[in-house]
Amino acid sequence: MTETPLLSVRDLVVEFPRRGETFRAVDGISFDIAPGEILGVVGESGAGKSMTGAAIIGLIEPPGRITRGEIHLAGSRIDNLPEAKRERLRGKRIGMVFQDPLTSLNPLFTIGRQLTETIRRHLPLTPAEARQRAVDLLTEAGIPRAGERLDSYPHQFSGGMRQRVVIALAIAGEPELVIADEPTSALDVSVQAQIIAVLKRLCTSHGAAVLLISHDMGVIAETAARVVVMHHGRIVETGSVGDIIKRPREPYTVRLIEAIPSIRRLHGAPATAPAGVPDAAPLVEVRGLSRDFVLTRRGPLQRLLGRKEEVLHAVKDVSFTVARGTTFGLVGESGSGKSTCAWTMVGLLRPTAGTVLLSGHDIWDGREGERYRRRRVQMIFQDPYASLNPRWRVGDIIAEPMRALKLAEGRSETEDRVAELLRRVRLDPAALRRFPHEFSGGQRQRIAIARALSSRPEFIVCDEPTSALDVSVQAQVLDLMQELQREFGLTYLLISHNLAVVRQMADHVGVMHRGALVEERPVDALFDDPKHEYTQMLLAAVPDISRVA
């Protein structure tokens, strides 16, 4: 690099004073970005990635502040500028894209208004010219009929479309640098690839450099040339994407790369042989399952006028079987009916048609079916922060299924079994006296698993069990789930939008699309030779580190 770097960060420290002590979110990091370059920053939550981005654009939430170091933009120092001058850099020279497109836009203003106010703030244009430029930007960002959509409100767009609007807003003032903080983490896989492409195309055509922050090495690998690996506020390693993935030098980077599941079999491990006998009678049998949701409730008047109900067919005639001791993976985008399917199988949502059989018993067969189901079927939810009652002690949370089903006699037996369960999920039995907030996300998900195991179920439905977790924690939780499957002979239904996780865990995979099961085959067959075109599209859209040369 002979020219002066566009952005130069030197020995940056960001600290948060917190109850007497100071917490260092960013601890002495230095890096450069050349004009027009795309630099990836990767790391797990709490690594200080987002804080670095916030420091560069000058939006650190108080009481956090930069306590040391310098930030230079195109050769001049910006971190010590007064707020009024700092404000003028934002949007004009440094743009930013946030993670969640659903909350990034003001819900009460049309997107046209938000675009034109940003454009006119930075460029000397008349309202009509600004409007024209807004249309051009949206068209460039891939929004069809942009002129008409300008007067729509944010809620009238899908998540992917909103993120396109956000990107258009970020480059509206022709900034030299765009900071993209997890721009695709809240989106579906198939949309993710398009948004990355839009971001890359727009920044290239407008000559903006990009600082791409992501926890997803796959996204970085497909977008950036160079990558910075962060851990605990420090830079662990910097290098080209190929080097970091193929030849990581630092032990932390090695662990991080290894923990990433791939949709290809990278490490050469063969599929774990199904623990159960393959041709034994299936444990779970789903036959012709359908579930509709009525979208518009008809009032008595509408019914008289014969107005039709609008019905959403969330799940349409889905049939599959799960053999005892195996894992059935269910993949698909959000809204494809995966979760609806799971809810009917655990008894949370009554199917409109079809049956769910567990060892031949219909779980929706009145009180009899319910009694049969309640002990044998359990569920693990996505968000371990929301699925545990914050006012209950861990011991009570885990003991609840036993108490509700009267599986243990007396307090001491209950307590013994809770302690045993905690040991099984590799937690200290002393944890039973503590509250959920004292645990990290990964530990909480272990508690949720212990709760699911507490009624000694045969079948556990796991709805996105690791999507809220960091990659390294995800790997640990998945390992634990596999070990428990062998120990207890459990049968899993694993729902995930993360195809790599499904490839690692499942024996059989079903692909759902718009409520229908479009393909259902053994895992390797499906991933190596997808038959249905939707499956092929889905697999091609996954950003994957193994594609880096």
Partner 1 sequence: MVAFIARRLGQSVLVMLAVALIAFLIFRFVGDPVASMLGQDANQGDIAELRDRLGLNDPFYLQFYHFVLDALRGDFGISYRLQQPVSDLILSRLPATIELAVTSAVIALVFGIVLGIYTALRRRSVETAFIMTVSLIGVSLPTFLIGIGLIYLFAVELQVLPSFGRGQVVDLGWWRTGFLTESGLKSLILPAITLSLFQLTLIMRLVRAEMLEVLRTDYIRFARARGLARRVIHFRHALRNTLVPVITIAGLQLGSVIAFAIITETVFQWPGVGSLFVNSVQAVDVPVMAAYLVFVALVFVVINLIVDILYWVVNPRLRDSASGGR
The structure tokens listed for 426 are: 């590799």
- Our measurement of the distance from residue 136's CA atom to the centroid of its chain's CA atoms, rounded to an integer in Å, reads 31
Positions 474 through 503 that interact with partner 1 (CB under 8 A):
none
Q: CB of residue 108 vs partner 1: minimum separation in angstroms?
A: 5
Looking at the Cβ atoms of 2 and 76, the one nearer to partner 1 is: 76
Binder among 91, 233, 351, 543 for partner 1 (CB under 8 A): 91
Which CA distances in Å does 205 have to 40, 140, 141, 216? 19, 10, 11, 25
CA dist 51 and 296 (Å) reads: 44
Name which of 273 and 305 has its Cβ closer to partner 1: 305
Query: Does residue 117 touch partner 1 according to CB under 8 A?
Result: yes
The one among 50, 104, 116, 327 contacting partner 1 by CB under 8 A = 104
Residue among 291, 404, 295, 391 at smallest CA distance from 350: 291
Half-sphere exposure of 43 (CA within 13 A, CB side): 26
Please tell me the number of Cα atoms within 13 Å of 468 on its side-chain side: 19
Q: Which pairing describes strands 361-362 and 353-358: parallel, antiparallel, or unpaired?
A: antiparallel
Q: Should residue 92 be labelled a site residue for partner 1 when binding is judged by CB under 8 A?
A: yes
Among 7, 96, 138, 323, which residue sits at the site for partner 1 (rule: CB under 8 A)?
96
Q: What is the 3-state secondary structure (H, E, C) of 166-186?
A: HHHHHCCCCCCEEEEECCCCC
Question: Whose Cβ is closer to partner 1: residue 88's or residue 246's?
Answer: 88
Task: Considering the complex, state which of residue 120 and residue 513 has its C-beta at the smaller distance from partner 1.
Answer: 120
Whole-number minimum distance, CB 119 to partner 1, in Å? 10
Measure the CA–CA gap between 256 and 474, rounded to whole angstroms.
11
CB of 62 to partner 1, least distance (A): 9
184 touching partner 1, by CB under 8 A: no
Instruction: Identify which range of 95-103, 214-222, 276-284, 499-507 contacts partner 1 by CB under 8 A.
Output: 95-103
Number of residues that bind partner 1 (CB under 8 A): 34
End-to-end, the C-alpha distance of the chain in Å comes to 23
User: Residue ranges of the alpha helices (H) in 90-188?
Assistant: 101-104, 111-122, 127-140, 146-149, 159-170
- 68, 13 Cβ separation under 8 angstroms: yes
Per CB under 8 A, 157 contacts partner 1: no
Is residue 155 a contact point for partner 1 (CB under 8 A)?
yes
State in angstroms the smallest separation of the CB of 92 from partner 1. Answer: 6
- Shortest Cβ 85–partner 1 spacing (Å): 12
Q: Considering only CA atoms, which of 547, 457, 541 is closest in space to residue 499?
A: 541
Q: Which stretch binds partner 1 (CB under 8 A): 43-51, 163-171, 236-244, 245-253?
A: 163-171
Binding partner 1 (rule: CB under 8 A), the pick from 50, 52, 116, 118 is: 118
Q: Does 57 bind partner 1 (CB under 8 A)?
A: yes
- Which of 41, 55, 105, 526 is close enough to bind partner 1 by CB under 8 A? 105
Of the pair 80, 106, the CB lying nearest partner 1 is at 106
Considering the rule CB under 8 A, would residue 383 count as an interface residue with partner 1?
no
CA angle (304, 305, 311) in 5-degree steps: 95
Rounded Cα gap, residues 516 and 409, in angstroms: 45
Stretch that binds partner 1, among 44-52, 86-94, 196-204, 286-294 (CB under 8 A): 86-94
- The helix (H) or strand (E) run that includes residue 41 is strand 38-42
Q: Which two tokens stand for residue 254?
A: 């090695």
Pull the structure tokens for residue 462: 């796991």
Nearer to partner 1, 59 or 225 (CB): 59
Residue 109 engages partner 1 in binding (rule: CB under 8 A): yes
> Is residue 311 part of the contact set for partner 1 (CB under 8 A)?
no
- Please, what's the largest Cα pairwise distance for the chain? 78
What values do phi and psi take at 166, rounded to 5?
Answer: -60, -40
Residue with tokens 């699925």, as numbered in its chain: 387
Q: Stretches 116-124, 138-146, 264-272, 402-410: which one binds partner 1 (CB under 8 A)?
A: 116-124
| Sole window of 105-113, 237-245, 325-333, 500-508 interacting with partner 1 (rule: CB under 8 A) | 105-113
For residue 331, the SS3 value is strand
Q: Which residues bind partner 1 (CB under 8 A)?
A: 57, 59, 87-92, 95-96, 98, 100, 103-109, 117-118, 121-122, 153, 155-156, 166, 169-170, 172-173, 295-296, 310
